[in-house]
Amino acid sequence: MNWKVFLGVFLMIFVLISCSDRDDSLVNKEPQLIVKFKFDKSQARLNNLGQPSVVSTGNASQSPKFNFISAHYFELAQNAYTQLGDGLVLYHGSETIDGGDLAIDFSRAKIVSEGEPFLSIPLSQINQGNYEYVRVSLSYQNYEVSVFNNGIDYLGTLESFVGFNTYITSHSIGNNVFNVNGNRLQGYWAFALNNAPYATSGQAPQGSTTVPNPIASTSAIQPGSCVVTGKFVENLVVNGNETDDIVVTLSLSVNNSFEWEEVNFDGKYEPSIGENIVDMGLRGLIPSYVK
């Protein structure tokens, strides 16, 4: 066979196969339920009952700039009377007893930034239904805050672990490594200055982390958990006939969500004089979706 003819036949076959593969991938792409996070400092600042709240007397707060977040649990609830765990549980993260008691396994946590998909689940695996609420157990936060020391404002990065209990071997902020090798209850945090040799860690008081739940009177959550509850503006309906993705956005209120006890009443976080972190809980959840 003439080599030019051979080459022409080969190229034709290659193109046909490539087109066929692309067509198959398009045909076989299954619509997904995709879950993403959003951080909003202008969203209402809520308390544990989902009601508007102000900063406690004697404390001060900031609206931090979020870098990353992780969650341990995601559930769609049919209504305000659906008990935790009785809705459609679509995600439950890895756990371990390596630290003694049952705890979230931080080494296997999925950590994402704003707008990055956290979950992608085929809609064919999701029960048809009408869902009014989202419940999401937040477990890890990474954000930037302002720190005041000796008359100078600095920027630093804080990692907070707000899950019920987290097993951590080690974690790091920049070049600062925090070796834990054990369990840490809700409220453990670590902090490091950006571009400066200072790092520290600590534990917020037990029960001080705010976890908004506007349906607490009909569907309570366990103390010490971080299962934040939010209501869709318009119920999410899954009918089983979807041909396109459903993208759910979990808008989290970071409105003055980083709170500390004041020693010098100037509204500036100054850990060097003993100003202690008391609350790192996110201040509300508004879920929305597009089809």
CB of 164 closer than 8 Å to CB of 73: no
Residue 108 has pLDDT above 70, yes or no: yes
The confidence band for 197, taking pLDDT boundaries of 50, 70 and 90, is confident
CB of 78 closer than 8 Å to CB of 131: yes
Phi first, then psi: give them for residue 74, nearest 5 degrees.
-145, 130
Which of the pair, 23 or 88, is modelled with greater confidence?
88
The secondary structure of residue 2, as a DSSP letter, is: -
Task: Output the average pLDDT for the chain.
Answer: 92
Q: Which residue has the tokens 């064919």?
A: 124
Mean pLDDT within 153-175: 97
Mean pLDDT within 15-19: 47
For the stretch 22-63, pLDDT in tens is: 444 444 589 999 999 999 999 999 999 999 999 999 999 999
Is residue 85 within a helix (H) or strand (E), and if so which, with residue range? none
b (16+ CB within 10 A) / e for 199-229: bebeebeeeebbbbbbbeeebebeebbbbbb
Mean pLDDT within 254-266: 97
Is residue 8 within a helix (H) or strand (E), and if so which, with residue range? helix 3-28
The confidence band for 213, taking pLDDT boundaries of 50, 70 and 90, is very high
Question: Under DSSP, is residue 126 helix (H, G, I), strand (E, B) or coil?
Answer: coil
For the stretch 121-153, pLDDT in tens is: 999 999 999 999 999 999 999 999 999 988 999
Q: What percent of the chain has pLDDT over 90?
A: 86
Phi first, then psi: give them for residue 185, nearest 5 degrees.
-75, 170
Q: Which of 62, 69, 53, 67 is nearest to 257 (CA)?
A: 62
Distance CA 47, CA 222 (A): 16
As a whole number of Å, the CA-based R_g of the chain is: 23
Q: Which of 232, 231, 230, 227 is nearest to 281 (CA)?
A: 227
Specify burial of residue 91 (Cβ count, 10 A radius: 0-12, 13-18, 19+): middle
Does the CA dihedral 264-268-273-277 come out positive or negative?
Answer: positive
pLDDT for the residue 196: 85
CA distances from 282 to 64, 240, 242, 272, 277 (A): 10, 33, 32, 25, 14
**Domain regions of the chain by residue span:** 30-290
pLDDT for the residue 28: 52
Residue 189 has pLDDT above 50, yes or no: yes
Q: What percent of the chain has pLDDT over 70?
A: 90
pLDDT for the residue 11: 47
Mean pLDDT within 105-122: 98
Q: Which residue has the tokens 């993403």?
A: 36
Residue 184 has pLDDT above 90, yes or no: yes
CB of 70 closer than 8 Å to CB of 163: no
Residue 194 has pLDDT above 70, yes or no: yes
